[in-house]
Chains A and B, each alone.
Chain A
Amino acid sequence: MADFQVWLVHWLAHAAPPIATFMRSKWGWPMMESIHFLGLSMLVGCVGAFDLRLLGVGKRIPIAALHKLIPLGLLGFAINVTSGSTFLLTEPDQYIYNPSFQFKVLFIACAGINALMFYKTSWGRATADNAIPDAPKAAKVAAVISLSVWISVIVCGRLLTFFRPGPCPTSGPGLIADCTPHSKAR
């Protein structure tokens, strides 16, 4: 894994020089960060409102009708994958070796798996024409997981700067590098 991380950092660092140049300009990084926070709010607002409905807030709202907000939440997510990539392409070693970033990616994957499970297991029952206002228990579990996981994603993102990876000890990195390996690849 550590070897893969070294390769990935090297690849990212050379993938899109114009983006890195833009990001190092005076307002490049601050502008992308602002966009990242706008996307975050779209995602958390739309997905969070839907999760709260599954948990029983606004029971008179048909679940299928409120679900029409989810595409805007996904748009927020797409905005953040795009803006997030510009950070990654500019300072890859600050992210790939950062444990906070590693957990952030893990939590995003959990959010994706949780959403897929929700659509597979309880979506049909929650949105059937004769569905009762109270969402199925499995849907409520999915909503709690979704809320917790997205909050964790935000916290990990915010903690990134407090876990900047330092150089690895002479014993080298562990299985997953959370330090910058001594490598000619940089």
Chain B
Amino acid sequence: MNLLAWIESTAFSEWVRGSPSLFAFPGILSCHTVGMGLAAGINAAIAFRILGVAPGVPLAEMQRFLPAMWFGFWLNFFSGIALLIGYPTKALTNPDFYLKLALIAAGVWLVGRIRERMDGFPKGLAIASLICWGGAITSGRLLAYTYRHLMAVGF
């Protein structure tokens, strides 16, 4: 608890939470949403291709879009850490946050498995990927509604 309170007392945490600048909370949240669209969206496009959409596209060539996917992923890794520093108690005391992290971890693991088995059109893995990234989006969105403690103070 002391650790959470300490993080919340740092200047960066206070800036993320309280600065009136659009580059603070609103800007970080905007980056997190653009990154989400790229990471989840490109993974979805690859999954759709595996499931039979756009059959004229050589499946292996879909990997060319993975750098854009990873750009979105790392954008969200860092914007996510900034949001976490802003509201550490809010996220870390909510089981939904750990569900989101687990779904992202599974989704990232699936990216590698799908690449290994591209030739075999792994439909099961593609469906699992859609579920993981869709689930990560949903659990992430619901973080705003399911938290029990906003700040360490009064917890």
A→B interface (CB under 8 Å): 30, 33-34, 37-38, 40-46, 48-49, 52, 57-58, 60-62, 64-69, 72, 151, 154-155, 157-159, 162
Residue-by-residue, is B76-104 near A (CB-CB < 8 Å gives 1, otherwise 0)?
Answer: 00000000000000000000000000000
A45 pairs with B42, CB closer than 8 A: yes
In the A-B complex, the 4 residue pairs with the smallest Cβ-Cβ separation, listed nearest first, are A45-B41, A65-B56, A44-B37, A58-B64
Q: Contact partner of B44 among A45, A52, A159, A162, CB < 8 A?
A: A45
Q: Which secondary structure characterizes the binding site on chain A?
A: helix
Partner of B41 from the list A33, A48, A65, A68 (CB cut-off 8 Å) is A48
Q: Is B153 interfacial (CB-CB < 8 Å)?
A: no
Contact B41–A41 (Cβ < 8 Å) = yes
Are A30 and B58 touching (Cβ within 8 A)?
A: no
B62 close to A58 (CB less than 8 A): yes
Cβ of B137 < 8 Å from any Cβ of A?
yes
Question: What are 21 A-B contacts with C-beta separation under 8 Å?
Answer: A30-B141, A37-B138, A37-B140, A40-B36, A41-B133, A41-B137, A44-B34, A44-B37, A48-B37, A49-B42, A49-B45, A52-B65, A61-B62, A67-B54, A68-B54, A72-B53, A154-B33, A154-B34, A158-B26, A158-B33, A159-B26
Complex CA distance for A154 and B56, rounded to whole angstroms: 30
| Chain A neighbourhood of B38, CB < 8 A | 44-45, 48
B residues 48-75 in Cβ contact with A at 8 Å? 48-49, 53-58, 61-62, 64-65, 67-68
Among candidates B44, B56, B64, B133, residue contacting A64 with C-beta atoms closer than 8 Å? B56
- How big is chain B's contact interface, by range? 35 or more
Interface residues of B in 13-33 (CB under 8 A from A): 22, 26, 29-30, 33
B36 — which chain A residues lie within 8 A by C-beta?
Answer: 37, 40-41
Q: What are the residues of chain B within 8 A of A34 when measuring CB–CB? A: 137-138, 141-142
Q: Does B122 contact A (CB under 8 A)?
A: no
Which residues of chain A are within 8 angstroms of B54 by Cβ–Cβ distance? Answer: 65-69
CA A162 to CA B45, docked complex, whole Å: 32
Q: Can you list, as one digit per residue, whether each of B117-139 has a CB less than 8 Å from chain A (1) or not (0)? A: 00000000000000001100110
Check A57 against B64 for contact (C-beta < 8 Å): yes
Residue of A nearest to B139 (CB): A34
Q: Taking the nearest CB of chain B, how far is it from the CB of A175, in angstroms?
A: 24
